[in-house]
Amino acid sequence: MKEPPRLDSPCPASVACARHPPIARTAEVATPRPTLRLLAVPLVLVVGACASWRRVGTTEQQAPAAQQLPQALEPRNTFREMGLLTDNGPLGFIGSVNVLAGRTPDSMLVVLGLSLRNQGLTFRRDGDAFLAEYSVDLSLRNDRGIAARATREERIRVHAFQETQRPDESVIFQQFLTVAPGNYTLDLSVRDRNSPNAGHVEGPVVVPAVAATAISLPLAVYRVRPRASLDSAPDIVLNPRYAIQYGADTLRFYLEAYHLAAGTVITATATDVSDRSAWTDSLRVDSAAPVRGYVLGIPPERLSIGRYNLHLLQNGVVIATVPFVVMFSDQFAVANLEDIVSLLRYFPMRDSLRSVTQAPPEERAAAWQRFYRSTDPNPATPENEAIDEYLERLQVANLRFRDEGGAGWLTDRGEVFIALGEPSEIIDRRTADMQGGSRYIVWNYYDYRLSLTFIDDAGFGHYRLDPASRSEFLRVANRLQHP
């Protein structure tokens, strides 16, 4: 598991971690009486399509696992569908925007959070450490000009080269901007100071005014200290991706109530893509203060892998919905546990993985953690290098062998490549005379004393292991499965 986040500078700040296309969510207020308003921020970015919201009781059609899994290899697709800000360039940042009440009715707090990876930045030697530098320039403008702007120069220092290559979330940047209610355009640029790498997004933001009584939309957070007054911002470390690793720490959401009557009850429930309730809790407002902050914590044992929606309800009616995702690693977003089993079908420790799916639902998170730890060759690092290497091979296979007309990772060559890696030698006879000869490819693995022949019998480019080669491959794969 990952070390807890640490602050590099006072909040708002970049956060170095051990560890929705609108980027702010929209909510429909559907209370029987106009006693409560959601502090919602409708935002549509030009970088992607709008998030899809559903009422309780509707269902989504699930695509077959073979169609879903390639998307899992690029989790930014999942974050974009959730309505988060996504950068598809080499920086690959993910972000979210939310709004909290400000000191006065005409001064609202816009909260921007960005999740970055060390791997997306360029590090240089700096004494006995490695240093990366990046800049963030963001502004909110309306028809009268720039209403608020922040320009920041940030530095990240790590002491091991391996840390510079981390592909998971390793840096959190966050910034508060104070603006009056109204319509704005967000302009955000992030630049790596040691390379040409940069990312840019732009889109409209609507900053609502606070009603007499209101509640904010939930913000996903790693940690927070609720504020007692509107004169300051909350002490907060955002979770900009609205994501948590399966079986990890409690997933936390922060929300604020403004002038709500003492005794008001808000119910929160988390539902999966089939609208099955996985967790329900409620909070009771204890004071009609100008601001009261509350933290909702969803324990890991209540969540499986995949997409969820967190609903807020008043008097039994849904008043807001925000999405979140439980990922089986920081790098891959998979729809459910069954798809993971399919994704890891060639993994050497597949038998151990089967124990996860056979565990009772309430024990699966713990079973997954046992599997994850037992297959990790280097527990001192936050990654599982064995699974990461396997998934990297899967990505390569999916691209390299897609010329056969289907998912490349499901072809015979894809299967062998994922299980055994690059062959020592390739003998390619695809250019043989088709009049009397045959088209075939031979892969030799010297370390395993193995020679495999793939034959294209029909001449359409679909290569299959011949029976003898299939038998030899399974013999070696079984030896790797049970060393």
DSSP tally for the chain: helices H, then strands E: 9, 26
Q: Let me know: does 444 contact 427? Beta carbons within 8 Å.
A: yes
Tell me the pLDDT tens digit for each residue of 392-434.
898 889 889 988 877 888 999 999 999 999 999 999 876 555 4
Does the structure show a pLDDT above 70 at 6?
A: no
Alpha helical stretches, state H, 34-140: 65-72, 75-81
The pLDDT-based confidence of 132 (bands split at 50, 70, 90) is very high
Contacts of 281 (CB under 8 A, 6+ apart): 267, 268, 269, 296
Tell me the pLDDT tens digit for each residue of 20-56.
222 333 232 333 333 344 554 333 232 222 222 222 2
User: Please, what is the average pLDDT of the chain?
Assistant: 81
What pLDDT does residue 407 have?
Answer: 84
DSSP H or E segment with residue 181: none
What pLDDT does residue 420 have?
Answer: 93
Distance, in Å, from the CA atom of 457 to the CA atom of 466, rounded to the nearest integer, reads 10
Distance, in Å, from the CA atom of 129 to the CA atom of 118, rounded to the nearest integer, reads 14
What pLDDT does residue 89 have?
Answer: 86
